Structure 1
Amino acid sequence: MRPTRATALLTAGLVTLLGVPAGAAAAAGAPAHLYVNNQDGSNCSDSGSGTQAVPYCTISAAAKAVAPGQTVLIKPGKQYDEDVVVDRSGDPGKPITFAADPAAGGLQVDLTPYKRLAISGASHVVVRGLFTHGGVQVSRSSDVELDRIRASRPKGAALVVGEASSDVRVSRGNLVGIRVEGGAQRTVISRNLLSGSTGSPVSAADAPGTVVTNNTVYGYFCGPIIAVDGASTGSGVFNNVLVPQGASSCATPDPRPGISVAQSATTGTKADYNLIVNAPYSWSGTTYKDRASFEAATGQGAHDIVTPTADNIGAWEGSLTVDSADPTAPGVLPTDFHGNPTADDPGAPNTGKDGGYLDRGAYELQDGLSQVWMSVDRTYAPVGTAVEVQAVSNSNWSSTMTYEVDFGDGTAPVVTKQGTGPHGLAQHAYTKPGDYVIKVAAVNAVGKRVFTEQPVKATPAVPLTANFASAPVLPTSDDPIDRTRPLTVAVDTAASATPWPVETVTVDFGDGTTSARDDKLGSVRHTYNTPGEYQVTLSLVDVKGARSKVTKPVKVDYAASGYVATEPFRLMDTRTSGPLMAGVPHGMNLPVGLNVPGHVMSGSMASVVLNVTVTHATQDAFLAATPYYTERPTTSNLNVRAGGTVSNTVTVPASEFGQAFFTLNAGRADVIVDFVGYYQPNIGQRFSPVSPTRLADTREAGGALGAGQTRTVKVAGAAGIPAGASAVALNLTSTDTTAGTFVTAYPDPAKRPATSNLNPEPGKAKSNQVIVPVGPNGTITLYNHWGSTHLVVDVVGFYGKEGKALFTPVVPKRLADTRDTGRLAAGATATAAGVPAGAVGAVVNLTATESAGAGYLTAYGFGAARPDASSLNTLPGVTVPNHVTTPVGDGKISVYNGPWGGPTHVITDLLGYFTQG
């Protein structure tokens, strides 16, 4: 193989073949480009100045305005319904150019069928990327370049060059016939795909100096494939591939001449290095059946190849066209039909002139390079350790490839002819820790480059050290589909020191659960069943066999949450599915991520607020709610007498799988559960407790509620509750009840839900805390079903934008039990301690039992003034629970026993607490 040879320039004008040469510019004051765009919405106008904002609608309008040195960029896509006539001229070195807009990605400009292009009386003109079925005609013109033209014509040749035109160059086109005539001089036809028209695909008549070089020509019709007639002296036919086809319909069938030169044209005309498929020659009126006789008689065609079939010609390995042409022939171009450069196939002998490796015909075989792959023996390693790179490409000519390796640290790229081997493409040792990107470029012999890259990490040269950080994972949206489970933590192992790649990563979460992964440092999530402190152990093993282990405590707890109020709806009723049995936890699916009719629920609720009613109890019993199936807390939420009905608000965390469980300690009973609302981190409204304040008492105003009656109570804007509150926490008490009934509290008087909040009974004062969304005009509505009853409404707090505290649920926890210390006397106050520090409010389940008489309990913040409102009404011989939201002082709650009920035992269970921040 020889070095690339310089190719001969035909004329000084050839510099325009690949575009305007450096230094050429438009006329002084004129823009470099004019624009043509006829597509819808282009805002085009033929009366404008052809700017990109207001382009011309037609090519003809631009042809009338273009000045020397300007390029007309034509937008492809929609056909141009016009004949285009170019009759303006450029200047030497400053042609006027018409080209398809390169922004269109190589599309051609298409004229409507049978519209034509004519260049008439013009000089220094370039036309590139035009498609027409109406043909192209060049007349009385000079220094014209027609590049990448695709053309046909209903009759005759697609391109006609005539009427004494000169120096016309036709390159890289797809044309159905070219005819040069009428005294045209020095026409060059190079690297085109040509086919026959009604006569010869290429013909020159009275056209001296016509050069036909490196074309692929198919002779589909009768007559010679290339015909040089008349006074076409000094012409040349070189490096072409000529394929006769379809001769059966001709009056004189094959063999017809591949090349025919009339006697009048032989002076100074030359032909050589052509490849002809099974066709004779005709020279000066004599037919020669083979190459040898043709050369012997004329001295032409000494290096021609005549082959019987077209099976072995084309741009592929082993083709007769490859590396066999004359690179010094007139009209040779540096690029082929597709714009590919001249390339030397290392597997083919260079049989071209003087060992040249130009291919015959319109196409130049390329090596197929399009991709390179890289492998790195160590994607990370300590500084000072050599990183070895291997690379391979899909080049067909691997022996000609060059690889450039840039290690990304500022050092000079390594350039090598070797892609793979025992020591790799290149080796490099980083001197500083850091993240780097290795880039490999594969470059073939003609300069085509393809790239790939690989990130690597240079690590400090320190021992393997396991380390991790942990953080809770909290939801960031209220999407009903996404689910971020409570008590989820992320253990991020990326803080480990790993000078060598890690082979295994094992995280023991301390609850019997382990996560093991191969070579995957990073973050792993885990959801715990219960809050607590766990010992988490990270174990690492690297590729060198080194081991490291670290154990750290991880504290897991529920997160502070905002409250989302919903309109109440029934969630469960065992009266239709069968009662609860003593000691058997009854699971209930919470509406996590479910679209309950009329209610869109978040997928990430952390805890829920329920109104729970127990009825049809077969014996005295209590009910406990928990997020866990296997553990029943030592606390209770409701206490029921045999045959009685009792209701209470319950706040309980959602389990890992979005469930809650209820356990009855004795007998059987039915349980009815109404959904009230839920808490979720980052979502919902904050809470502000207020000192219990009475909002309504039907004994003093309005009278008792009769059967089926409602009463509206103003809540927002009263008792320190802001007008913008979204929900209120109330203590609802019934008294002087005439019949067993139920009471419902709800926001919209026009939409009473099929739920209940309180179950009044004759002769008993009963209480229950409720959380109710604020309805129209800042009100709530109370409904009584049977008989009549008086109702007392005490507000204990509100939720809204003005709220100041977030709620953190806890697994129910007992704070105080006077059964261990003695009953609380009438008029006395007990203290329940153990609320977490910083809490401003708490949610507790307050239970009175073994009461001596009918009285009341009031819960309030330790150290604060005692309010007049009550939190629970005691009954002699009856265990009475109530869900209570109360302020907290110094982590303590005060519980006052009213003066007339006598002594009673008081049990205080913590369900959650509120903190500011």
Structure 2
Amino acid sequence: MSRRPLAALAAGATLTLVLSPALAEAATAAPHVVKYPGKAAPAPKATTFRAVSPRTTNGLTAAITATSSGARSFSYSATASTDTASTITSYTFDFGDGSNTVTNTTGTTSYEYTRAGTYTATVTVKDAAGTTDTATTSVTTTGSDYTPYGPARLLDTRNGTGEGGTPAKIASDTAVKLKIAGNGSIPAGVTAVTVNITPTNEASGGNIIAYADGATRPTTSNVNFGTGQTVAALATVQVGADGYIDLYNDSPGTIDLIADASGYYTHTSASGYTPITTARILDTRNGTGEGGTPAKIASDGTLTLTIEGADGGLLPSTGVTAVALNLTATTETNNGNIIAYPDNTTRPTTSNVNFSANTNIANYAIVPVGADGKIDLYNESYGTTNLIADVSGYFTATGTSSFVPVTPTRSLDTRTIVKGTVYADTAAQDPYLTLSSNNATAYAITATVTNTTGGGDLIIYPAGTSLPSTSNLNWNTGDTVANSFNAIPGPTGIYAYNQSNGTTDVIIDEYGYYTAN
């Protein structure tokens, strides 16, 4: 074929190309199709067109900013939008959750999302010439929803679970780093986790401090223990940006440590929390929750407790995903523990309450609820036990509150207050919790009694309300005991009532709060 260049055409001239017979036939022939045996031919690739706003000609530029005003609330502003060629006449806000748009002339609006999550909000700005321009911003709610999990054992230093398979006690003044995000089916982006923490085989007395990995270790505490004591306490722990939490052994000796997860919080839509006035829904001593017939739980026996519709129907009849309970074992005839888990599921190898014979010991638990609306309470011991369950809240897809974790903070310590010791049948007031959030419906706290001069129990309840007949933690003379609780505040905080025949100091640590959606 000749490769001589074509001569330049004169202005207005026409170039005519004549195809050879072979080329002409090829040009009109059907296209060649490649067939793939057993599969459809691949679809042609789509072409994507990017729309470009003609800002250089119309002068209209949209802008939007978002400011968090609550756990799921944002204030939006498009007042920074400009128009050099005309006058802006309207702003239309689309909040990115499928709700109705809002159009106004002020360029500002507020919106509260019904569920936790990340959303893309869009403003469409229109001017007098009919020109429009859009701007977007991404927002993530502060509040987190709850997803029940397991229960499942994430850490057991006795056998190497959570430590790469190598058993190793935690040394004095040392923290173990525990993976949460990506552990099992717990996803990335988890903001907090509920774990039941159990120290055992201690060489000395002390306490455990749980906190987000990468953060400064706080001066709070979650579990207090004596030498050789096996004791458990639930902790709601903020998770570090790397997906880990730290569990610090604040004692002069080594310890073994167990951590069982029962749920986690994320910014994605899941279950919200509804706090309720604490109510007793199980007491085997008098038949409450057992159809009125008192009956201890037998050795290796299981009690099935109905959650949905409980408390005279105050709990919903359907849709409860988890329940917040204070479990108290009493009048035990042998040592053992209680395992709480969803009904009609395989009993896990976790534990919730560890007890010795003839003790009164309580531990808070957030228990996943079975599909039938029930939970199982298993007595893992060689003896019988009575069991009490006080409900303080529940989780559902329509729950009224979401959780906001905070840096662990000690809000009350009567040891540091002149004449702060709490006398028998007297309440200590903690007004400082109200500083965290004006919209708090409940606070995730750990209450600790120490310097106890008589046995008794502590009752946490809203300031300014009547004393309930339930209790939160039990102790004997000289004990230092901690227990967690989702506490409903009154107008001036919470009360911690010393129901004993002696004095005690009271410590309250805050780990987060629930805020109304």
Is TM (by shorter chain) over 0.5? Answer: yes
CA contact (8 A) 2:71 2:404 kept: no
**In the alignment, which of 706, 721, 726 is matched to residue 315 of structure 2?**
721
Does 2:221 align with 1:636? yes
**In the alignment, which of 277, 280, 294 is matched to residue 694 of structure 1?**
280
Q: For residues 328 and 53 of structure 2, what CA distance do their matches in structure 1 show? A: 75
CA contact (8 A) 1:475 1:681 kept: no
User: Is there any run of 5+ residues in structure 1 with no aligned partner, and where?
Assistant: 1-310, 319-344, 366-406, 411-429, 436-458, 460-466, 477-494, 500-555
The DSSP-based 3-state class of the residue aligned with 1:819 is helix
CA contact (8 A) 1:606 1:654 kept: yes
Q: For residues 338 and 389 of structure 2, what CA distance do their matches in structure 1 show? A: 12
CA contact (8 A) 2:71 2:515 kept: no
Q: For residues 214 and 513 of structure 2, what CA distance do their matches in structure 1 show? A: 24
Once the two structures are superposed, residues 291-339 of structure 1 have per-residue CA deviations (whole angstroms, 9 ceiling, x without a partner) of: xxxxxxxxxxxxxxxxxxxx54xxx544xxxxxxxxxxxxxxxxxxxxx
**In the alignment, which of 684, 690, 711 is matched to residue 270 of structure 2?**
684
Once the two structures are superposed, residues 519-540 of structure 1 have per-residue CA deviations (whole angstroms, 9 ceiling, x without a partner) of: xxxxxxxxxxxxxxxxxxxxxx
In structure 1, the residue matched to 2:302 is: 710
Query: Matches of residues 750-765 of structure 1 in structure 2 within 5 Å?
Result: 750-765=345-360
Does 2:426 align with 1:828? yes
Does 2:194 align with 1:604? no
For residue 567 of structure 1, report the CA deviation from its aligned partner: 2.4
AA at the equivalent of 1:809: P
Does 2:506 align with 1:910? no
Does 2:158 align with 1:563? no
CA contact (8 A) 2:153 2:261 kept: yes
Does 2:391 align with 1:795? yes
AA at the equivalent of 1:585: A
Q: For residues 557 and 633 of structure 1, what CA distance do their matches in structure 2 show? A: 27
Q: For residues 360 and 887 of structure 1, what CA distance do their matches in structure 2 show? A: 89
**In the alignment, which of 188, 192, 199 is matched to residue 614 of structure 1?**
199
Query: Matches of residues 361-440 of structure 1 in structure 2 within 5 Å?
Result: 362=20, 433-434=59-60
Once the two structures are superposed, residues 568-602 of structure 1 have per-residue CA deviations (whole angstroms, 9 ceiling, x without a partner) of: 01111011221111222210000x245x2xxx333
Return structure 1 stretches of 4+ with deviation > 4 angstroms.
355-363, 407-410, 467-472
In structure 2, the residue matched to 1:583 is: 173
**Structure 1 residues 772 and 361, CA gap change in structure 2 (3 angstroms):** closer
In structure 1, the residue matched to 2:455 is: 854
For residue 471 of structure 1, report the CA deviation from its aligned partner: 5.8
In structure 2, the residue matched to 1:573 is: 156
For residue 663 of structure 1, report the CA deviation from its aligned partner: 0.6
CA contact (8 A) 2:270 2:397 kept: no
Q: For residues 513 and 15 of structure 2, what CA distance do their matches in structure 1 show? A: 87
**Percent of pairs identical after alignment?**
31
For residue 699 of structure 1, report the CA deviation from its aligned partner: 1.7
CA contact (8 A) 1:565 1:678 kept: yes
CA contact (8 A) 2:343 2:372 kept: no
Q: For residues 709 and 408 of structure 1, what CA distance do their matches in structure 2 show? A: 70
Query: Matches of residues 28-427 of structure 1 in structure 2 within 5 Å?
Result: 312=2, 317-318=4-5, 345-347=6-8, 362=20
CA contact (8 A) 1:840 1:889 kept: no
Q: For residues 229 and 53 of structure 2, what CA distance do their matches in structure 1 show? A: 79
Bigger radius of gyration: 1
In structure 2, the residue matched to 1:663 is: 248
In structure 1, the residue matched to 2:403 is: 807
The DSSP-based 3-state class of the residue aligned with 1:777 is coil
Q: For residues 386 and 265 of structure 2, what CA distance do their matches in structure 1 show? A: 32
**Structure 1 residues 763 and 854, CA gap change in structure 2 (3 angstroms):** farther
AA at the equivalent of 1:747: P
AA at the equivalent of 2:412: A
CA root-mean-square deviation = 3.4
In structure 2, the residue matched to 1:479 is: none
For residue 630 of structure 1, report the CA deviation from its aligned partner: 5.3
Q: For residues 269 and 400 of structure 2, what CA distance do their matches in structure 1 show? A: 14
TM-score w.r.t. the length of structure 1 is: 0.41
AA at the equivalent of 1:793: A
AA at the equivalent of 1:564: T
In structure 2, the residue matched to 1:863 is: 464
Q: For residues 562 and 628 of structure 1, what CA distance do their matches in structure 2 show? A: 21
For residue 706 of structure 1, report the CA deviation from its aligned partner: 2.8
**Structure 1 residues 790 and 349, CA gap change in structure 2 (3 angstroms):** closer
Once the two structures are superposed, residues 585-631 of structure 1 have per-residue CA deviations (whole angstroms, 9 ceiling, x without a partner) of: 210000x245x2xxx33322211101111101111100000003452
In structure 2, the residue matched to 1:777 is: 372
Once the two structures are superposed, residues 646-704 of structure 1 have per-residue CA deviations (whole angstroms, 9 ceiling, x without a partner) of: 10001011110110001111111111011100112242211111111111112223432
Once the two structures are superposed, residues 441-484 of structure 1 have per-residue CA deviations (whole angstroms, 9 ceiling, x without a partner) of: xxxxxxxxxxxxxxxxxx9xxxxxxx996767x999xxxxxxxx
Once the two structures are superposed, residues 321-368 of structure 1 have per-residue CA deviations (whole angstroms, 9 ceiling, x without a partner) of: xxxxxxxxxxxxxxxxxxxxxxxx444899xxxx996567749x9xxx
AA at the equivalent of 2:493: K
TM-score w.r.t. the length of structure 2 is: 0.71
AA at the equivalent of 1:433: G
